[in-house]
């Protein structure tokens, strides 16, 4: 409806500018009010039909043939449909005028033909003006949406980078933790004295863990298969550090290994379990990593909380995992606590980010 007044004014303005000395304009001021009112109403209806037809065609083509796909074809198709619509509306208008005024159908005069052609040209100009306005509005709106998406994408990337940095800082904390390094090196020196082959394997696993932490902690996602390879070396170090005070049970379906999760997810969850629970050989801490479905991975540990510890104290490990899944538009992990177990259900992602 916004275009109707614009089209109405434009119709008379362009008609006058095309031929200001036409007989129609010379006699215009001499016509009675009711005659003018009838003409204005007819013209208003005509402009309404032309405007609505143009808007309807534009909206339909936006869905079936967007400007961004094939602009030249879109221009030709929209112009053609609008021309056909205008011709059909003019035809209906002529039929209506003939029926109302009961004019005879004798051969039209040259003046009538001239007026009809002028009418067609003016109508086409109005139609094309509306096309131009609609197209401009569509392109500006599309550009704004694109800019909004780019801005949201940049913001999301910044948030992901921040979360990734937090995970990296967490892993660096582990790397630079003198306690962890001292224990690992002490075990390594003992193993070298007792069993050189085992000592060599320990040093290899030790280097793999730190290489993984340095390289992959900066990524947004990695495959579960890569995470499990890292976890194998990490568990090897943990077992030789803690001994029989901890047991691991890894049972992951092969099809799940091709799915993705944020790096260090499993390491942080295992570290969290060790941090909050005692590791006694008489009552060892049991940690299970298994899949329930292809996209559902569960990290479960038995509960033997250290005195003065509670499950509300997660450090930065679990909250970091939660925020990274959220930022990656994945389903956030679920926590299930029973009197004897603590489970974290991780929903794996089927694409790399």
pLDDT greater than 90 at residue 258 = yes
Burial of 276 (0-12, 13-18, 19+ CB in 10 A): buried
- Give the SS3 label for residue 235: helix
E-only strand ranges, the chain = 222-223, 246-251, 260-261, 285-293, 296-302, 334-337, 341-347
In this predicted structure, what is the pLDDT of residue 306?
78
Q: In what order do the strands lie in the sheet containing 246-251?
A: 246-251, 285-293, 296-302, 341-347, 334-337
Rounded CA gap, 29 and 94, in Å?
A: 23
Residue 4: pLDDT over 70:
no
User: What integer is the mean pLDDT of 306-332?
Assistant: 70
Using 50, 70 and 90 to split pLDDT, how confident is the model at 131? confident
Q: What is the mean pLDDT of the chain?
A: 78
Written as six digits, the tokens of 61 are: 């083509």
Query: Which of 25-39, 143-157, 204-218, 238-252 shows the lowest per-residue confidence on average (mean pLDDT)?
Result: 25-39
d(CA 197, CA 38): 105
> Of the candidates 112, 94, 132, which has an alpha carbon nearest to the alpha carbon of residue 10?
132
Rounded Cα distance, 50 and 4, in Å: 9
């Amino acid at each position: 409806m916004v275009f109707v007044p614009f089209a109405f004014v434009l119709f008379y303005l362009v008609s006058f500018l095309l031929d200001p000395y036409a007989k129609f304009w010379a006699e215009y001021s001499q016509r009675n009010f009711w005659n003018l009112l009838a003409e204005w109403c007819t013209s208003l209806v005509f402009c309404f039909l032309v405007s609505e037809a143009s808007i309807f065609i534009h909206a339909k083509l936006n869905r079936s043939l967007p400007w961004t796909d094939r602009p030249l074809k879109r221009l030709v198709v929209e112009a053609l449909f609008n021309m056909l619509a205008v011709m059909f509306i003019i035809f209906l208008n002529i039929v209506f005028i003939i029926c109302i005024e009961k004019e005879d159908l004798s051969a039209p005069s040259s003046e009538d033909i001239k007026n009809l052609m002028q009418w067609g040209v003016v109508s086409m100009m109005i139609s094309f003006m509306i096309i131009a306005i609609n197209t401009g509005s569509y392109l500006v709106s599309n550009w704004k949406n694109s800019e909004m998406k780019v801005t949201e994408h940049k913001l999301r990337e910044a948030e992901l980078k921040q979360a990734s940095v937090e995970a990296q800082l967490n892993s660096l904390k582990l790397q630079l933790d003198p306690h962890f390094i001292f224990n690992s090196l002490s075990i390594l020196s003992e193993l070298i004295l007792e069993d050189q082959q085992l000592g060599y394997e320990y040093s290899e696993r030790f280097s793999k863990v730190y290489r993984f932490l340095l390289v992959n902690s900066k990524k947004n996602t990695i495959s579960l298969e890569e995470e499990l390879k890292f976890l194998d070396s990490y568990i090897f170090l943990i077992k030789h550090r803690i001994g029989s005070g901890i047991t691991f049970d890894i049972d992951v379906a092969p099809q799940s290994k091709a799915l993705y999760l944020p790096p260090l997810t499993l390491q942080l969850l295992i570290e969290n379990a060790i941090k909050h629970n005692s590791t006694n050989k008489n009552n060892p801490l049991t940690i299970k990593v298994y899949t329930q479905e292809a996209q559902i991975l569960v990290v479960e540990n038995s509960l033997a909380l250290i005195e003065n510890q509670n499950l509300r104290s997660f450090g930065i490990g679990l909250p970091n995992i939660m925020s990274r899944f959220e930022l990656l538009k994945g389903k956030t992990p679920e926590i299930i606590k029973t009197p004897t177990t603590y489970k974290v259900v991780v929903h794996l992602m089927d694409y790399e980010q």
